[in-house]
Amino acid sequence: MLQVTDLTKTFHAAHGTVTAVDGVSFKVGKGQFASIIGKSGSGKSTLLALLGALDKPSSGSIEVAGNNVAKMRDHALIKYRGQQIGFVFQNYNLVPNLTALENVMLPLEFAGKPNKYRKERAEHLLHQVGLDGDKQTRKPARLSGGEQQRVAIARALANKPSLILADEPTGNLDEQTGQMIFDLLHSLAKSEETTIIAVTHDLSIAGKTDETFKLQDGKLIKQ
Ligand SMILES: Nc1ncnc2c1ncn2[C@@H]1O[C@H](COP(=O)(O)OP(=O)(O)O)[C@@H](O)[C@H]1O
Ligand SMILES: [Mg+2]
């Protein structure tokens, strides 16, 4: 499903050159849940940004569902990000003045789905992540951190992406809630047949994913 080959990203800053991602190659299959661990500054966020086409690699290739992301032009990249990738962030990044349901409906609206489908799909996904009843019509500020992250996960799944990228998704949650979010991601990878890659600091959580990769100074070491 995802195949990364010799991926490198170099930044040229005032103080010199930094190779944030250094010749990384790996493969993750469909429906697999992989974690990436590594110290701060080891290149985790840069790697996720490349996979999500938020940034362009200096060299190497990224193949997602048969498409070479590194070679796509801007127009194709916008489509790829919107339809093939779901993002989950540490700070949830929900739209504060929209309800949980409306937040999940938003990417469906961008994808041009009809109103009735949007509502049904969003209700179904929120139910899948364990949010029912009036919680679906609450705004983010009236939900707990764990619940907000569940909404963000439902939103990431909205357009049935091939790949979900999660950067420290449990970084703002207590240990027990974080564990529940990882268990949820794990079961969704299987039920939605989506590949999930999550960056985490938490080794106990990382140990429970299908595969664990470690980044060290931009280089990948399979655990
Ligand atoms: N836009 C940028 N410009 C220059 N250097 C960067 C940029 N983004 C990241 N870096 C550098 O690349 C390295 C990896 O950063 P990052 O991917 O954010 O690590 P992590 O997410 O593992 O903490 C660090 O040395 C960081 O300072
Ligand atoms: Mg980071």
- Say whether pTM exceeds 0.85: yes
Q: Which whole-number Å values give the CA distances from 120 to 41, 67, 155, in the listed order?
A: 41, 30, 13
**Could you please report the per-residue DSSP string of the chain?**
-EEEEEEEEEEEETTEEEEEEEEEEEEE-TT-EEEEE--TTSSHHHHHHHHTTSS--SEEEEEETTEEGGG--HHHHHHHHHHTEEEE-TT----TTS-HHHHHHHHHHHTT--HHHHHHHHHHHHHHTT--GGGGGS-GGGS-HHHHHHHHHHHHHTT--SEEEEESTTTTS-HHHHHHHHHHHHHHHHHTT-EEEEE-S-HHHHTTSSEEEEEETTEEEE-
36 lines ligand 1 (CB under 6 A): no
Give the Cα separation of 76 and 27 in Å (integer). 23
Give the Cα separation of 166 and 91 in Å (integer). 11
**Residue 130: φ, ψ to 5°:** 90, 20
Token pair 């801007």: residue: 74
pLDDT band at 28 (very low <50, low <70, confident <90, very high): very high
Is residue 87 included in any domain, yes or no?
Answer: yes
Give the Cα separation of 202 and 196 in Å (integer). 16
Give the Cα separation of 13 and 75 in Å (integer). 28
pLDDT tens-place string over residues 154-181: 999 999 999 999 999 999 999 899 999 9
Is residue 173 included in any domain, yes or no?
Answer: yes
45 lines ligand 1 (CB under 6 A): yes
pLDDT at 38: 93
pLDDT at 4: 97
pLDDT at 70: 82
CB 220 within 8 A of CB 48: no
Closest-CA residue, ligand 1 atom 3, reads 11
Task: Provide the greatest CA pair distance for the chain.
Answer: 54
Best probe residue, ligand 1, of 10, 18, 50 (max atoms within 8 Å of C-beta):
18
pLDDT at 123: 98
**Nearest atom (ligand 1) to Cα of 218:** 14
The number of folded domains in the chain is 1
pLDDT band at 146 (very low <50, low <70, confident <90, very high): very high
Cα 220 to ligand 1 centroid, rounded to whole Å: 15
Is residue 193 included in any domain, yes or no?
Answer: yes
Is residue 136 included in any domain, yes or no?
Answer: yes
Q: Give the chain's mean pLDDT.
A: 93
Q: Which is nearest to 64 in space by CA: 96, 30, 95?
A: 30
pLDDT at 120: 98
Closest-CA residue, ligand 1 atom 27, reads 41
CATH number of the domain where residue 87 is located: 3.40.50.300
121 lines ligand 1 (CB under 6 A): no
Give the Cα separation of 7 and 84 in Å (integer). 20
Is residue 55 included in any domain, yes or no?
Answer: no
> Is the pLDDT confidence value at 202 over 90?
no
Share of the chain above pLDDT 70, in %: 100
pLDDT tens-place string over residues 58-110: 999 999 988 899 888 989 998 888 889 999 999 999 999 999 999 999 999 99
Give the Cα separation of 97 and 172 in Å (integer). 21
CB 120 within 8 A of CB 104: no
Best probe residue, ligand 1, of 9, 11, 55, 221 (max atoms within 8 Å of C-beta):
11
**Nearest atom (ligand 1) to Cα of 38:** 22
Is residue 162 included in any domain, yes or no?
Answer: yes
Domain range for 199: 32-41+74-222
Is residue 129 included in any domain, yes or no?
Answer: yes
> Is the pLDDT confidence value at 145 over 80?
yes
pLDDT at 71: 85
Asked which of 12-16, 106-110, 151-155 is least confident by mean pLDDT, the reply is 12-16
> Is the pLDDT confidence value at 204 over 90?
no
Is residue 207 included in any domain, yes or no?
Answer: yes
pLDDT at 27: 95
